[in-house]
A = this chain, B = another copy of it.
Amino acid sequence: MRFVLFDVLGAEAQFQRMGFTDATRDVLDAVLDEAARFTETVLAPLNGVGDREGCKLDQATGKVTTPPGFKQAYTQFVEGGWSGLTSPAEFGGQGMPHAAGVPLKEMIDAANLAWGNFPLLSHGATEALLHHGEAWQQEAFLKPLVEGRWTGTMCLTEPHCGTDLGLLRTRAEPQADGSYAITGTKIFITAGEHDFTDNIVHLVLARLPDAPAGSKGISLFVVPKRRVDRDGKVGDANAVRCGSLEHKMGIHASATCVLNFDGAEGYLIGHPHKGLAAMFTMMNTARLAVGLQGLGLSDRALQNALRYSRERLQMRAPAGPMFPAKPADPIIVHPDVRRMLLTCKALVEGGRMMGYDAALQVDIAHHAPDHAERKLADDLVGFVTPIVKACLTEWGVECTYHALQCFGGHGYIAEHGMEQLARDARITTLYEGTTGIQALDLLGRKIMQMQGAGLKVFLGQVAAFCDAHGNDPALADFIAPLREKAAQWQQITMQVGKRAAANPDEIGAASYDYLMYSGYVVLAYWWARSVAAAEASAQPQAFKDDKRATARFYFARILPRTLAHAAAIESGSAGLPELDVAIA
């Protein structure tokens, strides 16, 4: 993490020039140490019990009890000041840059993904209120959220609509006092009810009586679990109740609620009928956050698999015993086990650069002194967000797969915790927009509609890097293939664009493979940068060798996946025959 932040991204200098004067290397080092201590000693030990016990709903009262130890851990989290680490100081936060919060986030996700979902959603609520809330709303809701005294939710999905929010039916009736009565059923509400805090701030999408049909008639409301008046005074229970908890494949300790709003008191946030746009301003960071979940789980899985592969004795190395005094060699001597571990290592360490840089670009987009630079960073964030979200989560599924596989049958039983990581990882390619939705966002919106503004920025960075290191012997194996892939990426983009102009089906036909293709090229760039950064750093030689070896592995064994994706893209929509779509 330190290598990525400081050696690869030069985060300290970046933070300083953006005016985050407190975000010095010393402070950040201390934050990392403390975050590691908290997540290792408090959160990680609760991961198994959370999975076994899950959250429990008392149907009579609608109250949800979290697994043993979860609430106490949250209290420690709040007392440690973690809740508002990257929130504005004026609302009780510590005003650190977004990118400084990302390692904490990764550690939480690695230690206990389900627990991490409770504070996670507060960030979305905080952002929505910061950007769209009236002054009194900010006063009343922001401080308790930032301080962690309350948590937040995002209430979008309904039983008949998830991706297609234009179909939503929840109603908001204006009341005489300027508030609204919210009525409807929301599903899949993460942290929708729990015992961590006294109050929960629900951000709810609903329709006003005069709303146009479809997605242009959706407004955003703040609906607290306990009523809050305009002076911030907390009153009695609002008319919102948890109707049931979903039984899920994983993240059992994350309370996934059906919430029934029955004339609940709420307040409009932002403009009428503009709720979807307000919600979408939170989407980028929420999606980057889910990407980090995939990364955290991958890293945990890799650490476990590495340890097991060094301990488990089975068979001899192909060329003969490496540990003749032992009854067998550790399985890490087998090339195929190394292949699995190295695949995880390349995706985890590469993914970390990708994910952390996206966070840094969020900071630059908001805080860089120069407007033009902010604009470029904003384009870049929009462009890399679907890549980071989709690839880090798809790789999370892949890495938890490989790591479990290293355990053989022992990976399939609960004892080693590997199967939980695999089950937990499986949600990440679904929520906050499936991989398919990220792919459409990338190709349909960021490339086609926005004419590839972000891609141009990114390719500019790649070209600049390749030019700077074109004669660098340390980079000799990487610059030429990177240039080649970048050129092919441009070419593919143009081809798809041309085809899509003639036939809108071509976007969806190419989108997934285009997304994954992009992810692998982006990762090639980061691996090349990693080698360059290691060389330029004060890291020990073994560290530099390790980075170069992993980069070589990445270029030789993973980057060629682009060949398959390119072929699939090229085949176009003609290769996707209609299946019978008749419906009753």
Contacts and interface: CB of A to CB of B under 8 A. Distances in A.
A430 interface: yes
B552 A575 contact: yes
A504 interface: yes
Given A323-B583, A422-B426, 18 more contacts: A162-B314, A164-B328, A247-B415, A249-B423, A310-B580, A319-B504, A332-B579, A335-B505, A335-B576, A342-B576, A404-B426, A405-B434, A408-B430, A412-B427, A419-B426, A556-B571, A557-B571, A563-B563
A564 interface: yes
Given A248-B419, A422-B249, A560-B567, A581 B412 contact: no
Contacts of A435: 405
B247 A414 contact: yes
27 contacts: A162-B408, A162-B409, A163-B315, A164-B313, A167-B327, A246-B413, A247-B415, A248-B412, A248-B419, A249-B414, A249-B422, A306-B579, A310-B583, A323-B583, A326-B583, A333-B581, A334-B436, A334-B508, A335-B507, A336-B509, A338-B579, A339-B576, A408-B434, A409-B430, A423-B423, A560-B568, A564-B564
A337 interface: yes
- Which applies to chain A's interface (DSSP): helix, strand, loop or mixed? helix
A577 B552 contact: yes
B504 A248 contact: no
B567 A556 contact: yes
Interface residues of A, number: 97
Given A419-B426, A434-B408, A581-B310, A505 B549 contact: no
A311 interface: yes
Nearest to A310: B583
Contacts of A409: 157, 162, 188, 430-431
A429 interface: yes
Contacts of A35: none
Interface of A: 157, 160-164, 167, 188, 246-250, 256, 306, 310-311, 313-315, 318-319, 322-323, 326-328, 330, 332-342, 397, 401, 404-405, 408-415, 419, 422-423, 426-427, 429-431, 434-436, 439-440, 503-505, 507-509, 511-512, 546, 549-550, 552-553, 556-557, 560-564, 567-568, 571, 573, 575-583
Contacts of A412: 248-250, 426-427, 430
Nearest to A573: B335
Contact of A568 (B157, B340, B422, B556): B556
A436 B579 contact: no
A460 to B, nearest CB: 28
A561 B516 CA distance: 13
Contacts of A336: 436, 439-440, 508-509, 511-512
A215 B7 CA distance: 51
A432 to B, nearest CB: 10
Nearest to A342: B576
